Amino acid sequence: MITLAFSVSVFAQNKMLSSKQLMTGSLYPRSTMRGVQFVGNTNQIAYIQDTVLYMGQPGKAKSCLTLSQLNKVLQSAGIDALSYMPSIKAINGKEISFNAAGKVLQYNFAKRTLTTIADYPTENVAHSDMDEHSHRTAYTVNNNLYIYDKGSVFSIESADQDIVYGQSVHRNEFGIEKGTFWSPKGNLLAFYRMDQSMVTDYPLVNTTARIAREQPFKYPMAGMKSHEVTVGIYNTANNSVLYLDTRRDESVAERENYLTNISWDPTEEYLYIAKINREQNHMWLERYDVADGAFDTVLFEEQNSRYVEPCDPMMFIPGSPDQFLWFSLRDGYKHLYLYNTDGELIKQVTKGNYEVEGIIGFDAKAENLFIYANKDNPTGRAAYRVNLATLEMTHITPTEGTHYVVVSADGTMVIDSYSAVNVPGRCNVSKYKGTKLVSEKNLYDLSNPLVDYAMPQINMGSIKAADGVTDLYYRLITPPNMEAGKKYPTLVYVYGGPHSQLVTDSWLGGGNLYFLFLAQQGYVVFTLDNRGTDNRGFEFESCTHRQLGTIEMADQMEGVKFLQSLPYVDKERMGVEGWSFGGFMTITMKLAHPEIFKVGCAGGPVIDWKWYEVMYGERYMDTPQENPEGYAGNSLLNKAKDLQGRLLVIHGAEDNTVVWQNSIEFIDACIKAGKQVDYFIYPHHEHNVRGYDRLHLYEKMFDYYETFLR
């Protein structure tokens, strides 16, 4: 059964988008107000509007600093003037801090004075990480790690270019985004050390030189040797470094464990690490003594026959150094569990057929926890308050939309910024009156920047998956002013892989100007989140284990059946497009159903999962040695012989995510099978075509559809 959940259309003018406008930000909702925040521990707010900083009670905030005033103070301190008002932190009602010219500066409104709180290196620096308490800064230059402290620098260096310090490891899987972790008081720094010497060099070629140069990088492919990681601790008191005893022995299995979700004990005595075996079916939450690096204990373990994938570090309850929250999918959905540091489960904090998508914070006494969840809207993200004693859960934002929330220090006020399918953007300040949260002040409503354009209609709804039971959500964009009885060419835009949700209750349904442009040009554009995508529970995402592409395609074809039931969809003119996992899905669907898809356009496609990296590839497919049938059955090399119609394959020649080898070998398979295929390379781009060249990509794909799908 089809349920149309949302619909947005704007009765507008007949203005049309040009392809060049796809690269401008002027047609995306924007506000002149930014940086909305609470002032220190108060319930006053601060924000920047244009070039003026305002502070005060919601609805009564007053101008307290202009850019010209700030620049006068900066120049008197010998610092160059700024062309824009910098992002600020409102320390209290009298002072703010901000960054400029490689310094952390503090401005006092009453005294009109500028104080340098800290400085930090900027030249040739990467991965800069400043501790907010001590203002010590960790940063990297090339593969070496440096710690800067009031003019003094301590270095952790290696002559071996294959040893990497202080950077993200395990190819950014398991929620890893950085490689340095300051302790709560800034006295200690935990950091990653990654040894890649045993990983095969993968060749990339820089063709800009007179003689093209090889630029190899480390790329551990599924089933091959992975890199080895350890965790170091730098002590600022004596400039010493030690390494945690994360290995029980020197076996390959121990050396290849994944070390993730690093968390500091509030006392700075212990470091916690979620350790995962290479098979990714077993996790140990371990504690280490940072005084000597010794292993202390395993708090608890998690196992799953498919995979475990912790992506969120433990979070200690403020004021309770022996209790923490832990995310787990053990009951089938991502929920929060309260533990003590003896590893004993105190209680499950959230429960139900929905996902907790993040922690916002606590109130002043840590009696209430604020979280994001999709409890009442599977395609949205709302904020909730959870009482840690009673577990009562209260919805504190509107049901519609995808919300970003800031909670005041005492937990009584909320700044809520959100958009929805038919809401370009809105920001409200709300306040508790008794147990009810009521709107206090609307700070802004973003105007629709497309109001003067012929606006396509955006419908959101659901269909059943191929199992006949599971709901799948879709976004359907149709041309403006459709003619009765006319049939339109239709494009299925697909991704379909893990950690993705394309259909969201946000502005334009999560779509973009490219889709609107296509619809204005007379195309129907359809997107479906199949099983295997995110935020719908463990079974929903993991049912594709060991057979990537099979269930996903079955669900996408249910979407196609729905499209074919619509009177305005031309069954003879259907195309499919996607990038990365979506490129893999595009070719998978095109080869399996040439009778349906006249045209396909696949960017950066995975062709055979044996060419993808260890962490992601082995989680979802196991190794090629363990799952030869799964790898062979979903390899597109074996299916090139089935190609019919038009297929455009696009790849970045310096792609270090889905290596170029994938599409090259597919082209070779097509040649050997006697199949014609169209191919286009973006010479100096990695996995995505960025910058102004993206306009070329949009025009390339549109021209392809106009030529072969129109």
| Given the residues 312, 529, 608, 655, the one annotated as active site | 655
The string of DSSP codes covering 193-238 is EEE-TTSPEE--EE-SSSS-EE--EE--BTTSPPPEEEEEEEETTT
Token digits for 625?
């040695």
Domain ranges across the chain: 3-28+449-708, 33-114, 125-313
pLDDT in tens, 17-55: 999 999 988 899 999 999 999 999 999 999 999 999 999
Whether the per-residue pLDDT at 3 is higher than 60: the answer is no
Q: Which helix (H) or strand (E) holds 326?
A: strand 320-328
The single residue listed with the structure tokens 């501790």 is 131
Contacts (Cβ under 8 Å, ≥6 apart) of 632? 638
Whether the per-residue pLDDT at 477 is higher than 80: the answer is yes
- Percent of the chain beyond pLDDT 90? 95
Q: Which long-range contacts (CB under 8 A, 24 or more apart) does 629-633 make?
A: 630/546, 630/547, 630/548, 633/547, 633/550
Domain at 3-28+449-708: CATH code: 3.40.50.1820
Q: How many CA atoms lie within 13 A of 77 on its CB side?
A: 19
pLDDT at 4: 47
Query: Taking Cα atoms as reference points, which of 394, 433, 395, 400 lies closest to residue 418?
Result: 400
pLDDT in tens, 394-444: 999 988 999 999 999 999 999 999 999 999 999 999 998 777 778 779 999
Bridge partners, 276 (sequence order): 258, 283
Could you confirm whether 395 is annotated as catalytic? Answer: no
Token digits for 692?
């102004």
At 5, is the pLDDT very low, low, confident or very high (cuts 50, 70, 90)?
A: very low
**Mean pLDDT across 309-323:** 97
Give the C-alpha separation, 632 to 611, whole Å.
12
Q: Specify burial of residue 209 (Cβ count, 10 A radius: 0-12, 13-18, 19+).
A: exposed
**Mean pLDDT across 462-469:** 98
At 14, is the pLDDT very low, low, confident or very high (cuts 50, 70, 90)?
A: confident
Whether the per-residue pLDDT at 8 is higher than 70: the answer is no
In degrees, to the nearest 5, what angle opens at C-alpha 63 toward C-alphas 59 and 67?
Answer: 140
Q: What is the largest CA-CA distance in the chain?
A: 79
**Mean pLDDT across 584-598:** 98
At 392, is the pLDDT very low, low, confident or very high (cuts 50, 70, 90)?
A: very high
Whether the per-residue pLDDT at 11 is higher than 50: the answer is no
Question: E strands, 23-161, where?
Answer: 33-38, 45-49, 52-56, 62-66, 88-90, 95-100, 103-108, 113-119, 126-130, 137-141, 144-149, 152-156
Q: Is the pTM of this model over 0.75?
A: yes
**Mean pLDDT across 608-613:** 98
The single residue listed with the structure tokens 């500066």 is 105
Whether the per-residue pLDDT at 613 is higher than 60: the answer is yes
| Other CB atoms within 10 Å distance of the CB of residue 106 | 17
**Mean pLDDT across 222-241:** 97
Give the C-alpha separation, 572 to 562, whole Å.
15
Q: Which helix (H) or strand (E) holds 524?
A: strand 524-528
The string of DSSP codes covering 404-416 is EEEE-TTSSEEEE
Could you confirm whether 500 is annotated as catalytic? Answer: no
pLDDT at 35: 97
| Given the residues 282, 395, 687, 696, the one annotated as active site | 687
Give the C-alpha separation, 380 to 615, whole Å.
29
Could you confirm whether 580 is annotated as catalytic? Answer: yes
pLDDT at 615: 97
State which fold the 125-313 domain adopts: Methanol Dehydrogenase; Chain A (2.140.10)
For all residues of the chain together, what is the average pLDDT? 96
Single-letter amino acid, residue 208: T
**Mean pLDDT across 99-110:** 96
Question: E strands, 379-470, where?
Answer: 382-387, 393-395, 402-407, 413-420, 423-433, 436-445, 457-464
pLDDT at 533: 98
pLDDT at 1: 40
pLDDT at 10: 44
At 684, is the pLDDT very low, low, confident or very high (cuts 50, 70, 90)?
A: very high
Give the C-alpha separation, 216 to 205, whole Å.
8
In degrees, to the nearest 5, what angle opens at C-alpha 122 toward C-alphas 117 and 123?
Answer: 150
At 532, is the pLDDT very low, low, confident or very high (cuts 50, 70, 90)?
A: very high
At 143, is the pLDDT very low, low, confident or very high (cuts 50, 70, 90)?
A: very high
Q: Which helix (H) or strand (E) holds 540?
A: helix 538-542
Contacts (Cβ under 8 Å, ≥6 apart) of 683? 207, 653, 654
Nearest-10 crossing angle of helices 550-564, 581-592? 70
pLDDT at 24: 86
Give the C-alpha separation, 227 to 197, whole Å.
7
| Other CB atoms within 10 Å distance of the CB of residue 233 | 22
pLDDT at 12: 46
| Given the residues 580, 608, 651, 685, the one annotated as active site | 580
Whether the per-residue pLDDT at 79 is higher than 50: the answer is yes
Give the C-alpha separation, 426 to 589, whole Å.
39
Contacts (Cβ under 8 Å, ≥6 apart) of 133? 184, 185, 186
pLDDT in tens, 245-255: 999 898 999 99
